[in-house]
């Protein structure tokens, strides 16, 4: 289904002398800097000097017989929320354009550099990561690789991360996921994305949206690529094999997750279920009444609203006019929540997680569409607030359930070649990352056209 080179294939090219770290970096940088391409909307910073220096160091070490990890010499992009020493972390916003450069690297950046990754630049995003659509009025929105002539959304908030991989500006992108911001752009752009259990990957030195929900994860060409990247990001290296699908117990939620699918996503999801049944998987329609309780739990706002307001309130007072108005509106919802509301929501979340985990205890994974609709046109959302908020709610609906659960999840392409991207989400409770990834290896092979 996906013709993009995998990390393993690129690593083989390097090992066998068909490519060098410099040649890979030069090719990625040339695509990023091509005035006719999406690079200007995909990156907030293209770091050619540092990328070439890292590539030269990688080639020298390889010549000496030293290969630090499976990411050695591979071009990688990082979302504009990660601190890189000497660079300004703007989070896609004009508000932080004059902020001082970071004094040191985020641990995630140090892990990538220690692994030999060649960081080509910082990718654009929804301002302050607060939307699932990927629109950015400050820098422009990178166009989805599907139907580029129309100009469709890439998904957000890790919009540039996805396009950097689809367009060959990076072999791997590192993003953040608070309500789906790794999985949504992966789904809409035909990539594989992984949101790990939050605690597994450090968020130190990562500009926050919601301390309770933010996670760090990869966007790449395949599940195996995500496994490789996750090993570097988390320090937990797993040698995973595809988990047999015969007898696998998969729960398909009876509530919310299958509502409002467009015809294209519904057809792709039905085909995926048929293939899983044929492979011997046991798919059960599972009642999850707790999911319908979330609207009441969030009546006064979400954890993202409250925690974003706490972080932004002073900046909004001083620079509110410089914010994307739609992002500002979401942040200011948090103003309505007092300390008691916030503490009550944290306590309710703990009870909610315990109830959902009990219902899922007999299953290997949850199964649902990542997003219920194909990517809409950018133009249809830029000037129509009602269309924007409707699409944003649909994009975030399924993925955000897993963040509130403190779970882990993969988004996998499930569409035939040539059609609009549609994606299947495999998800699990906290700490089931290895099981979800092993199942993902088998499901991706099954769905590969």
Do residues 156 and 135 make contact, with C-beta atoms less than 8 angstroms apart? yes
- Look at residue 1 in the predicted model and tell me its pLDDT: 47
Q: Which tokens belong to 212?
A: 């309770």
Residues sharing a CB contact under 8 Å with residue 405, sequence separation 6 or more, in sequence order: 353, 356, 357, 427, 429, 430
Of 20, 58, 79, 215, the active-site residue reads 79
Does residue 181 carry a catalytic annotation? Answer: yes
pLDDT per residue of the chain (449 residues) written in tens, 0 to 9:
458 999 999 999 999 999 999 999 999 999 999 999 999 999 999 999 999 999 999 999 999 999 999 999 999 999 999 999 999 999 999 999 999 999 999 999 999 999 999 999 999 999 999 999 999 999 999 999 999 999 999 999 999 999 999 999 999 999 999 999 999 999 999 999 999 999 999 999 999 999 999 999 999 999 999 999 999 999 999 999 999 999 999 999 999 999 999 999 999 999 999 999 999 999 999 999 999 999 999 999 999 999 999 999 999 999 999 999 999 999 999 999 999 999 999 999 999 999 999 999 999 999 999 999 999 999 999 999 999 999 999 999 999 999 999 999 999 999 999 999 999 999 999 999 999 999 999 999 999 98
How far from 411 is each of 84, 157, 247, 366, CA to CA, in Å? 28, 15, 22, 12
Residue carrying structure tokens 């309505």: 336
Q: 313-349 b/e with 16+ CB inside 10 Å = b?
A: eebbeeeeebbbebbbebbbbbeebeeeebeebeeeb
- Is 0.95 surpassed by the pTM of this model? yes
Does residue 157 carry a catalytic annotation? Answer: yes
Does residue 300 carry a catalytic annotation? Answer: no
Of 159, 181, 215, 222, the active-site residue reads 181
- Look at residue 2 in the predicted model and tell me its pLDDT: 57
- Look at residue 195 in the predicted model and tell me its pLDDT: 98
Q: Which tokens belong to 412?
A: 């996998």
What DSSP designation does 347 have?
A: H
Name the phi and psi angles at 249, rounded to 5: -100, 110
Three-class SS of 12-57: HHHHCCCCCHHHHHHHHHHHHHCCCCCHHHHEEEECHHHHHHHHHH
Of 157, 158, 159, 400, the active-site residue reads 157
């Amino acid at each position: 289904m996906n013709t993009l080179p995998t990390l393993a294939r690129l690593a083989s090219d390097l090992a066998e002398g068909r490519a060098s770290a410099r040649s890979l970096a030069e090719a990625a940088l040339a695509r990023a800097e091509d005035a006719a391409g999406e690079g200007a909307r995909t990156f907030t910073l293209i770091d050619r000097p540092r990328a070439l220096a890292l590539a030269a160091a990688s080639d020298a070490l390889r010549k000496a017989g030293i290969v630090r990890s499976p990411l050695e010499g591979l071009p990688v992009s990082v979302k504009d929320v990660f601190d890189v020493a000497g660079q300004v972390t703007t989070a896609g916003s004009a508000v932080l354009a004059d902020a001082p450069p970071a004094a040191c690297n985020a641990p995630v950046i140090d892990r990538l550099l220690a692994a030999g990754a060649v960081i080509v630049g910082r990718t654009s995003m929804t301002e302050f990561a607060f939307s699932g659509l990927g629109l950015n009025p400050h820098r422009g929105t990178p166009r989805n690789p599907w139907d580029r002539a129309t100009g469709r959304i890439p998904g957000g908030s890790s919009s540039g991360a996805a396009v950097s991989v689809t367009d060959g500006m990076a072999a791997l992108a590192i993003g953040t996921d608070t309500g789906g911001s790794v999985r949504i752009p992966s789904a809409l752009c035909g990539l594989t994305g992984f949101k790990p259990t939050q605690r597994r990957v450090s968020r130190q030195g990562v500009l926050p949206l919601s301390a309770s929900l933010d996670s760090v994860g990869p966007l790449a060409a395949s599940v195996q690529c995500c496994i490789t990247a996750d090993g570097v990001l988390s320090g937990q290296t797993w040698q995973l094999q595809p988990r047999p699908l015969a007898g696998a117990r998969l729960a398909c939620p009876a509530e919310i997750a299958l509502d409002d699918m467009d015809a294209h996503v519904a057809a792709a999801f039905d085909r995926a279920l048929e293939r899983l049944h044929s492979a011997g998987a046991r798919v059960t329609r599972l009642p999850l009444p707790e999911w319908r309780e979330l609207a009441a739990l969030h009546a006064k706002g979400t954890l993202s609203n409250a925690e974003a307001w706490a972080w932004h309130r002073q900046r909004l007072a001083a620079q509110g006019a410089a914010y994307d108005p739609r992002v500002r509106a979401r942040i200011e919802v948090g103003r309505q929540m007092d300390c008691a509301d916030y503490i009550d929501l944290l306590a309710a979340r703990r009870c909610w997680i315990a109830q959902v985990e009990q219902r899922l205890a007999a299953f290997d994974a949850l199964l649902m569409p990542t997003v219920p609709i194909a990517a809409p046109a950018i133009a249809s959302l830029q000037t129509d607030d009602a269309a924007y908020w409707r699409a944003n709610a649909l994009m975030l609906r399924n993925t955000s359930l897993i963040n509130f659960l403190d779970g882990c999840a993969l988004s996998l392409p499930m569409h035939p070649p040539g059609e609009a991207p549609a994606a299947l989400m495999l998800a699990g409770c906290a700490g089931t990352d290895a099981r979800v990834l092993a199942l993902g290896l088998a499901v991706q092979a099954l769905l590969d056209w």
